[in-house]
Amino acid sequence: MSPEYAVHGRFSVKSDVFSFGVLVLEIVSGKRNSGFSREDQHLNLLGHAWTLYKEERSLELVDPFLLDSATPFEVLRLIHVGLLCVQQCPDDRPSMGSVVSMLDNEVVLPPANQPGFFTERDVFVVKSTTSFSANEVTITQLEAR
């Protein structure tokens, strides 16, 4: 689900592009975006793919089975196109026609920007040294006559 739809309820053709990008990254990695975790990181699949892309280590994302049957150039291109599709800003995402062209041709791809829902989970544990106060709440139940 695209960030603009999840947060603001706005749906457009770029929302479908976002979903397509998530599917591409899930297929390439062999892992689902929801529930993705690694012991050494607190990132979702999009965040993990983005981190590897920035560090020029995108091949580490690839499912070994896929890597054995595909050329690294093609797989890196799929990851790059997937990341272009999941960019935070809908205006930065390509149209589906452009995506098909990117996958069909060897045109130079623009650099990807940070994906939407780039999340780090449980990174900070906040420890409070302040005391807390108990708030009293009154609940009123309405009954029909």
Does the residue 32 lie in any domain?
yes
Is 26 within 8 Å of 83 (Cβ atoms)? no
Q: Report the predicted TM-score, pTM, of the whole model to 2 decimal places.
A: 0.75
Name the domain count of the chain: 1
- Residue range 32-42, pLDDT digits in tens: 887 766 655 66
Does the residue 84 lie in any domain?
yes
The residue segments making up the domain with residue 95 are 3-104
| CATH number of the structural domain spanning residue 65 | 1.10.510.10
Does the residue 80 lie in any domain?
yes
Does the residue 126 lie in any domain?
no
Does the residue 50 lie in any domain?
yes
Question: Residue 117 above 60 pLDDT?
Answer: yes
Confidence category of residue 137, pLDDT binned at 50, 70, 90 = low
Question: Residue 144 above 80 pLDDT?
Answer: no
